[in-house]
């Protein structure tokens, strides 16, 4: 099997919804990733943080009530940084152990990653990114009364939404390259990266959460990956998802994918950013393939046995 450079984007189901769940979930996730490494592929890992960044934000708000010296609001950029660290900690340990169990000698490192966004990105005026736990209608109304934006999320309940600007530049890309050149397995751009804007030499954190699907795509382009694999809770992408005439997709061209996006087949905030990231990656250079599949089927996906691929 030919060795490929693969950027893996891990979704919510790879990490669980709370600390004990995460500790267990990363063990399964580590196995799926180690399968790809064992086949000789070079792997770079990115991940989401929707539930986690919401949890941290809530926890900090609660703490602020007990400490008058602490500001009431902890910037979302700081919350993303915290999420990168503790998710990276669990993930890198689980992967380290899984590789040792298979006698694979490789270092695993998490890079606290900042991602530059455009201060004028229209997303700041229109929050769309769901974070935190699902809420009932009553909880959603209470959250709105507290000044938060809340939206219905793909028929699964209500969630807080925050601004989700597009990633422009990965600040630590040089560090990521250095680690890759040294043969390390890198975990980077967690939670879409810490959103920052540039003010001369100063990087200023901003109140937003970048979509991990878009950040992973930028990372994949920057490291010249062959594959962008978005691992999520469904085996394939569907047309007419959840309807009687639902149709699972195996392999689609960038052109077909663009057409399906126009026809509104993919839910904003969940499948739409994945397909858009897939289109962006696959159209960026010949030979680049985007694959969307189930976490547990990553290896089958890469070997063409399952998943939805987007190709030029
Ligand atoms: P992740 O945490 O991996 O980013 P999301 O929940 O954000 O996962 O997105 C994956 C979900 O998107 C699927 O579990 C499914 O419920 C939903 N979805 C929406 N539209 C589609 C579609 N057209 N095909 C498949 N899944 C879809
Ligand atoms: Mg998502």
Confidence at 164, pLDDT banded by 50, 70, 90: very high
What integer is the mean pLDDT of 156-182? 95
Give the range among 55-59, 109-113, 183-187, 192-196 with minimum mean pLDDT: 55-59
CA-130 nearest atom, ligand 1: 7
Contact indicator for 215, 117 with CB cutoff of 8 Å? no
Find the helix packing angle between 212-222 and 271-283, rounded to 10°.
20
Buried b (16+ CB within 10 A) or exposed e, 161-186: bbbbbebeebebbebbeebbeeebbb
- Which of 267, 273, 306 has most ligand 1 atoms within 8 Å of its beta carbon, as the pocket-test mutant? 267
Q: What percent of the chain has pLDDT over 70?
A: 100
- Provide CB contacts within 8 A for 53, sequence distance 6+: 76, 79, 80, 83, 131, 132, 191, 209
**Cβ 193 vs Cβ 170: under 8 Å:** yes
| Banded pLDDT at 128 (limits 50, 70, 90) | confident
Please give the pLDDT value at position 142. 86
The SS3 of residue 202 is strand
Q: Say what the pLDDT of residue 93 is.
A: 97
- Closest ligand to Cα 232: 1
Best residue for ligand 1 mutational test, from 234, 240, 276 (most atoms within 8 Å of Cβ): 234
Give catalytic status of residue 212 as yes or no. yes
- Ligand 1 neighbour 48 (Cβ under 6 A): yes
CB of 134 sitting under 6 A from ligand 1: no
pLDDT at residue 145 greater than cutoff 90? no
What is the pTM for the complete model shown? 0.94
User: Which ligand sits nearest to residue 266's alpha carbon?
Assistant: 1
Is the CB of residue 241 below 6 angstroms from any atom belonging to ligand 1? yes
If one compares 241 and 131, the residue with the highest pLDDT of the two is 241
pLDDT exceeds 70 at position 63: yes
For residues 171 and 70, what is the distance between their CA atoms, to the nearest angstrom?
Answer: 29
234 CB within 6 A, ligand 1: yes
Domain boundaries, the chain: 1-65+77-115+168-196+212-225
Helix H or strand E encompassing 216? helix 212-222
Mean of the pLDDT values across residues 162-166? 94
100 pLDDT exceeds 80?
A: yes
- In the chain, count H helices and then E strands: 9, 17
Mean pLDDT, rounded, for 297-303 = 93
Residue 9 Cβ inside 6 Å of ligand 1? The answer reads: no
pLDDT > 90 in the chain, percent: 80
Question: Do the beta carbons of residue 189 and residue 113 sit within 8 Å?
Answer: yes
Class of domain 1-65+77-115+168-196+212-225: alpha beta
Q: Assign 235 a pLDDT band (cuts: 50, 70, 90).
A: very high
Verify whether residue 13 is a known catalytic residue.
yes
Phi then psi dihedrals of residue 106, to 5 deg: -145, 140
Is 17 tagged catalytic?
A: no
Q: What is the pLDDT of residue 1?
A: 57
Catalytic site includes residue 274: yes
> Does residue 170 register a pLDDT over 80?
yes
């Amino acid at each position: 099997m030919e060795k490929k450079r693969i950027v893996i984007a891990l979704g919510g189901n790879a990490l669980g919804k709370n600390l004990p769940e995460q500790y267990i979930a990363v063990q399964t996730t580590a196995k799926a990733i180690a399968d790809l490494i064992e086949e000789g592929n070079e792997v770079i890992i990115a991940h989401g943080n929707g539930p986690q960044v919401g949890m941290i934000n809530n926890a900090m708000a609660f703490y602020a009530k007990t400490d008058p010296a602490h500001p009431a609001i902890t910037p979302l950029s700081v919350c993303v940084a915290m999420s990168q660290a503790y998710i990276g900690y669990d993930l890198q340990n689980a992967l380290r152990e899984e590789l040792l169990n298979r006698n694979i000698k490789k270092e695993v490192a998490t890079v606290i990653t900042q991602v530059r966004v455009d201060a004028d990105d229209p997303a700041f005026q229109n929050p769309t990114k769901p974070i935190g736990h699902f809420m009932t209608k009553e909880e959603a109304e209470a959250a709105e009364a507290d000044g938060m934006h809340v939206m219905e999320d793909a028929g699964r309940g209500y969630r807080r939404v925050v601004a989700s600007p597009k990633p422009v530049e990965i600040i630590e890309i040089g560090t990521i390259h250095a680690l890759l050149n040294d043969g390390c397995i890198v975990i980077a751009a967690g939670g879409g990266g810490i959103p920052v804007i540039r003010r001369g030499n100063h990087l200023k954190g901003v109140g937003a959460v970048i979509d991990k699907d878009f950040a992973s795509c930028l990372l994949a382009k920057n490291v010249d990956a062959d594959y962008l694999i978005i691992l999520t809770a469904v085996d394939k992408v569907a047309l007419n998802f959840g309807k009687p005439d639902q149709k699972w997709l195996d392999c689609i061209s960038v052109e077909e994918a663009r057409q399906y996006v126009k026809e509104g087949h993919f839910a904003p905030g969940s499948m739409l950013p994945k397909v858009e990231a897939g289109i962006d990656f696959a159209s960026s250079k010949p030979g680049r393939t985007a694959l969307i599949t189930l976490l547990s089927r990553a290896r089958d996906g890469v070997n063409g046995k399952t998943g939805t691929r987007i190709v030029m």
